[in-house]
Chains A and B, each alone.
Chain A
Amino acid sequence: MSESAIPQQPQRNPLSRLWNDKEARSVIIQIFAFSCIFAFFFFMVRNAMYNLEAIGKDISLDFLWQPSSYDISQSLIEYNSRSTHFRAMIVGILNTLLVAVSGIILATVIGFLLGVFRLSKNFLINKLAYVYIEYVRNVPVLLHILLVHGLIVHTLPLPKNAVNVADAGFLTNRGFFMPKPSMEPMFWLVIVLFVLGIVFTLWFRRYAKRVQDATGRHYPVFWICTAAIVGIPALAFLVTGMPLAWEIPELKGFNFRGGMVIRPEFIALWLALSLYTAAFIGEIVRAGITAVNWGQTEAAFALGISRNRTLNLVVIPQALRIIVPPLTSQYLNLTKNSSLAIAIGYMDIVATIGGISLNQTGREMECMTIVLMLYLTFSLLISAFMNWYNQRIKLVER
């Protein structure tokens, strides 16, 4: 085609020509967008600095090393009111991690069950799971937390009327009290055997796979591994005469003393977060399994592969690829939602360093930055782990 074939364009100024060029336009828009974002953050930071300057406040983390002067009801490490704010922060971090990790585990278990129930051909199970999921995920999680906490605190009895479980455990509205084990020397044998069992399992699974690849011989891997991890240590435990001493909680004055206690605040937060997130996980699991073409199952059956092995070797590996990425978001949500703990007085990060410490020292900027950084770190760690897992289970093409 020759130049003359194109109708003569009216001469435009160079700016509009630049704008009409697709490449240049996209660069211009990106530069503009970036400048806006930069200007926004620049303004925010400058504004904060200006205002802190105006009231004469500096930014310093020295307060972290001063005594916190407050008590915390649930602490996984040694802590008292003479400990530093830094230690209070660690207590908060551990409490957050505790509820996040136990929440993720429980939510995953319940979620997978719900997903499977939703696919069940049994009308009752199917509809029950359906109603549960629709109810739970359409009510804000904060209400679930308050509801569970309210139920525990209002319905369970006071310590003096505690529900007695075999004279060892006690259910009260101040918490669930149970015996605390303390190890006697021989117990180390059990621990050593347990660790050895895990090491053996790791080795044995590879060995069994090698044997199967080479000879087609199939070991009952699951049962052998269970025996190694659980059976042998349990046997050792019995043979050495159960080398554990139990400290039984006792009612003294207002409350039970001794033993271990799980506070209602932890239980409420843990259950509420798990039950709530499980509803979402259930739908993700259902979607993942449904997404694997039924033809694959039929093909597996046609090859004479049993129902269980079809599920384990054909359906689940493919479903996981669909399930894991959205599952990661749910884990992140659960972790972040745990910051609602303050509503019922569970002492997590927000309640300790982002709450009482902030208030007693007046270091809003520093404390909120620390809290922000901590949540960011947790979320990135969970993402990194789940990405690694996703990488591991992705389709291996041969």
Chain B
Amino acid sequence: MKLTKTTALAAAISLTALTAQAGTLDDVQARGELNCVVTTGLAGFAAPDENGRWEGFDVDFCRAVAAAVLGDPEKVKFVPTTGKTRFTILNSGEGDILFRNTTETMSRDADLKLTFLPVNYYDGQGFLIRKDLGIDSAKDLDGASVCIQTGTTTELNLADFFRVNNISYEPVTIETNEEGIANYTANRCDVYTTDASGLASTRAALEDPSAHKILPEIISKEPLAGAVRQGDDQWADIGKWVVNAIISAEELGVTQANVAELAAAATNNPSINRMLGTEGNMGEMVGLDAQWAVRAITAIGNYGETFDRHIGPDTPIALERGLNAQWNNGGILYAAPIR
């Protein structure tokens, strides 16, 4: 009895003794390293190469932020997470920023207390299936066994899609992409479902990619975006404008090759000047210096360059730009102006 009273009292005292939280930017700069939350391995987006160095589209954005904040794109510690652990890791402070092909949704934004950065890949959920099954449409999947990665928006879309179309399926819920592929290749399931970009990456990694195809239906909108913890506006701004700078750079024709030259002296394009710090000091507004965007672009190039390097048509992943082309080039990629 006495014990419970003491506990209650102690708990009450502890509640009143809350202290303020330091800014993430200060933490990262003091540590000299950016903890970036990525996937456990998805070829093209984030996966260690044969030398153990993390490579990929998402990884590049981590490096761009590290370059802007710390001046060195290599000062990143990658924190591999499953779909299940990613937000807990971010929210507990083990990660500073998340680039993990993560779909922006209202409940994640509001309820999971995240702040999303601008979308860096417009995706949608699709189905990967063996060609020899002779299925041409996802609506013919009645009764199929579907492998699905847990902890994603995809399992919700999947339930909705089959429900709306009034067809049945057997969900085979697995924890990571690797286990999903293992089950799919063992024929435990007929179909593997995840974001179309993930399917392209998965298909490229299969023994005989030509024996598999991605069904034409895209059953959901999956705007993939980076994220930070809610409540640190300055840090969210840094993430947001680094992504915007990478996207804008492509629109403005700034590349990894010419960025040093363009940043050396003011050009006759004020937009480029503002971004590269030869006019005004935009970086100061978010707690960085004037060269922040120059370092980010030097590290990974512009959006088109990192896309082509990791997931573009010339890579094994072979994704077309599609929706992810610039807004003035038939896509919906539209970065807010840096001014």
Interface residues of A (CB under 8 A from B): 42, 45-46, 49-51, 53-57, 69-73, 80-82, 150, 153-154, 158, 173-174, 252-255, 257, 264-265, 342-345, 347, 351, 355-356, 358-362, 364
Cβ of B241 within 8 Å of any chain A Cβ, yes or no, is no
Report whether B171 and A72 are in contact in the complex, using a CB–CB cutoff of 8 Å: yes
Question: Would A355 and B151 count as touching, CB distance under 8 A?
Answer: yes
Verify if B170 is at the interface (C-beta below 8 Å from A): yes
Does residue B183 face the partner (Cβ distance < 8 Å to A)?
yes
A-B contact pairs, 23 of them (CB 8 A): A55-B231, A56-B113, A56-B231, A69-B159, A70-B155, A70-B156, A71-B162, A73-B170, A81-B160, A82-B163, A150-B186, A173-B186, A173-B188, A254-B133, A254-B142, A254-B144, A254-B190, A345-B174, A345-B175, A345-B179, A351-B150, A359-B83, A360-B107
The CB with the most chain A CB atoms within 10 A, among B111, B144, B173, is that of: B173
B10 in contact (CB, < 8 A): yes
Q: Let me know if B108 is at the binding interface, CB within 8 A.
A: yes
**Smallest CB–CB gap between B231 and chain A, Å?**
6
Residues of A within 8 A of B175 (CB): 342-343, 345
A359 and B86 CA atoms in complex are apart in Å by 10
Please name the residue on chain B nearest to A265 by beta carbon.
B172
How far in angstroms is the closest Cβ of chain A from B204?
A: 23
What residues of chain A lie closer than 8 Å to B275, measured between beta carbons?
A: none
| B87 is an interface residue with CB less than 8 A from chain A | yes
Given contacts A55-B113, A173-B186, A360-B107, 13 further A-B contacts (CB under 8 A): A46-B14, A55-B91, A81-B159, A153-B186, A173-B187, A174-B145, A252-B143, A253-B142, A255-B143, A265-B172, A351-B173, A356-B150, A359-B150
Residues of A near B14 (CB, < 8 A) are: 42, 45-46, 49-50
**A-B pairs with beta carbons under 8 A, tally:** 121
Q: State whether B143 touches A56 (Cβ < 8 A).
A: no
Scoring B residues 106 to 144 as 1 if CB is less than 8 Å from chain A, else 0, what string do you get? 011001110000000000000000000100000001111
Q: How many residues of B contact A (CB 8 A)?
A: 49
Contact of B160 among A69, A253, A356 (CB under 8 A): A69
Measured CA separation A49–B7 after assembly (Å): 14
Distance to closest chain B CB from A210 (angstroms): 49
B residues sitting closer than 8 Å to A (CB atoms) are 7, 10-11, 14-15, 18, 21, 83-84, 87-88, 91-92, 107-108, 111-113, 133, 141-145, 150-151, 155-156, 158-160, 162-163, 169-175, 179, 183, 186-188, 190, 229-231
Please measure, in the bound complex, the distance between the C-alpha atom of A50 and the C-alpha atom of B15, giving whole angstroms.
Answer: 7
In the complex, which residues of chain A have a beta carbon less than 8 angstroms from the beta carbon of B186? 150, 153-154, 173
What residues on A are CB-neighbors of B229 within 8 Å?
55
- Across the interface, A362 reaches (CB within 8 A) one of B7, B112, B143, B159, namely B112
Contacts of A81 in B (CB 8 A): 159-160, 163
Chain B residues with Cβ below 8 Å from A46 are 11, 14
Contact A73 B172 (CB under 8 A): yes
Q: Which residue of A lies closest to B188 (CB)?
A: A153
Residue in B closest to A175 when the chains form the complex, CB atoms: B170
Q: Write the chain A residue with the least CB distance to B175.
A: A342
CA distance A42 to B7 in the complex (A): 8
Instruction: For the complex, give the distance between the alpha carbons of A254 and B231 in Å.
Output: 49
Contacts of A173 in B (CB 8 A): 186-188
Other-chain contact of B143, A57, A253, A358 (Cβ < 8 Å): A253
Which of A53, A54, A56, A351 lies at the interface centre, i.e. has the most chain B CB atoms within 10 A of its CB?
A54
Considering the chains assembled together, what is the distance between the CA atoms of A69 and B156 in angstroms?
6
Contact status A347-B173, CB under 8 Å: yes
Least distance between A239 CB and chain B CB atoms (Å): 40
Alpha-carbon distance A174/B144, docked complex (angstroms)? 10
Contacts of A174 in B (CB 8 A): 145, 170, 188
| A257 vs B65: C-alpha distance when bound (angstroms) | 52
Report the bound CA distance from A270 to B111 in whole Å: 37
Give the 4 A-B residue pairs with the shortest CB-CB distance, closest first. Answer: A81-B159, A362-B112, A46-B14, A359-B151
CA distance A343 to B171 in the complex (A): 15
What chain A residues lie within 8 Å of B231 (beta carbons)?
A: 54-56
